[in-house]
Structures are given as C-alpha cells and as structure tokens.
Structure 1
Amino acid sequence: MMHLIAIAVGGALGALGRYWISALLNNAEHRLPYGTLFCNAFGSFLMGVCFVLILEKARLNPELRPLLMVGFMGAFTTFSTFSLETVAMLQEGHVMSAAIYISLSVLLCIAALSAGLWITRLF
C-alpha cells in the first residue's frame, strides 16, 4: 500500500512540476513546445541519476524508487503530451517544426539519460 501512496505523491509532484515549467517556457510565438522538451530531457537525465543512485550504487533507499522513478519521473516526463503536440504541429502544416521537435526530443532525452548515468557513476 505504501508503494501506491509513494507513486501517487511522486506523480502529483511530477505533474505539477511539468505544468509549471510548461507554463513558464511554452510560448505561443514559438512553434516548438520548449517546456515539454525541457521536462522530457531533464526528466530523462534525472531518471539516469536515480537509476544509478538507487539500483546500482544503493546510495538511496530502494523504497524511493516508486516515488521518484515511477511517480515523479512518470508524470514529469510525458511522451503523451509530446505526441499530441507533434500531431498538432503536423495538422497545422508545420512539418519541419514537427520533424525538428521529434528529433530533438528523442536525441536529447537519450543523451540526457546517458549523461545522468555517466555523471552519477563518477561519484
């Protein structure tokens, strides 16, 4: 039962964080949703850090995994929003913006997660 509560609390915090960052960074003047892009990339970095600290180095209590990795990161990073924004760009005829957004999202998130793994393994 405590795992479910941890996931719910982490999810609530992650969703609020994503909402605030998107509200701050997304701008109607820009075709790219920078807030979602930032959350996906930064959340991927944090997922790499948490993976090493919880599962590899055991520097954090394994009980934090549901809170941080499932709840917080699951709600903070969101490819469902990414997908919706991409389809909206395509429907509006912004094919190049959509292609750039898809490429940046995938490449930045993979690079950020790799960086999180690498940096955290150094310590």
Structure 2
Amino acid sequence: MFGVVRVRARRPFPWAVVLAVALGGALGSVARYGVSLWVGRGGAGFPWGTLAVNVVGCLIIGAVTVLLEEFGNPHRLVRPFVGVGVLGGFTTFSTYVADVGDLLAAQRPVQATVYLFGTVALGVVSVVCGAVSVRALAGRAASRARGGERS
C-alpha cells in the first residue's frame, strides 16, 4: 500500500557552464555588431549584415562541431562557450525574422520571400560545407602524416 519514496538528489547549479555561455555570448554579440557596422544594410535596405553573420555562423558551427566531436577531446566548457555562447551570440535568427517583417512592411514581398527561404538554405549548405571542409582537411593532414602525399 505504501510505496517507496525516492528523494531526488539536487545537482549543484552549473555556474561554470553559465559563465562560459555568458562570456562566449558577449564575444559573439560584439562580433556580430562589428560585422553589422562593417557590412551595413546595403542597397534598398536589404539585410546583408544579418545574412552574412548567419551564413558565416552556420559555416563555423559545421566546422566546430566536426572538430569537437570527431577530432578532439575538448574541455567540458568548450562546447557551451563556443557553440552556445560565441556562435549563439554571433548568429541572429531573431533579427532575421524581424528583417523579413521589415521587408514585408516596406512592400517588398519578393525580397522578403527570397531572404526568408534563402537564409535557411544558405545556412544548411554552410553547415554542411563547414563539416565537409574540416573532414577533408583532416584527411589531408592524416595522409601527409602517413607520408601519402609528397610536396
């Protein structure tokens, strides 16, 4: 009739992880802001800066994921710092959605649609390119280390 009561032990709060994400996010956000100043909005108000950071961020995410998962044994804080923090702060898909709304409000439905679907397509292609590039470079380095390629 009376079951066993299980008391769940509390895990300590992961302050180190939170700090790693916060520091990485600060760096990524500053980098994104710098790119937006450098690239600007471009002609006809098209959000080139947002497109650039999202595509570059996706490329880096693909490369870093392969580096960390397949070729490294990183410290436990590297993934939260780089993946969630730096790259999460650098990429800005919330601004991307706001930019689509701005293009629609400016009566530019074709640009809004191209930007909406083009950003996602370029992002996916960029992740794949980043991952494939790192694997190719790692394969080349391994081949050279084995003496397979002569310069």
Asked if these proteins are the same fold (TM beyond 0.5), I'd say: yes
Residue type at the aligned position of 2:130: G
Identity %: 31
Counterpart contact for 1:6–1:66, Cα < 8 Å = yes
Greater share of helix residues, 1 or 2? 1
**Structure of greater Rg:** 2
Q: State the distance in 2 between where 1:5 and 1:47 align.
A: 20
Q: Which residue of 2 aligns with 1:54?
A: 68
**Over residues 25-54 of structure 1, what are the superposed CA-to-partner deviations in whole Å (9 max), with x where a residue is unaligned?**
123633321111010000001101111111
TM norm structure 2? 0.76
Q: State the distance in 1 between where 2:75 and 2:55 align.
A: 24
CA positional deviation for 1:59:
5.5
Q: Which residue of 2 aligns with 1:45?
A: 59
RMSD: 1.4
CA positional deviation for 1:18:
0.7
Q: State the distance in 2 between where 1:105 and 1:95 align.
A: 15
**Paired residue secondary structure (1:27):** coil
Q: Which residue of 2 aligns with 1:103?
A: 117
Structure 2, unmatched stretches of 5+, are 1-14, 139-151
CA positional deviation for 1:103:
2.4
Counterpart contact for 1:55–1:62, Cα < 8 Å = no
Quick one: structure 1 residues 59 and 89, their matched pair in 2 at CA, closer, same or farther if it must change by over 3 Å? same
Residue type at the aligned position of 1:44: C
Q: State the distance in 2 between where 1:59 and 1:32 align.
A: 41
**Paired residue secondary structure (2:29):** helix
Q: Which residue of 2 aligns with 1:63?
A: 77
TM norm structure 1? 0.92
Q: State the distance in 2 between where 1:58 and 1:100 align.
A: 38
CA positional deviation for 1:23:
1.4
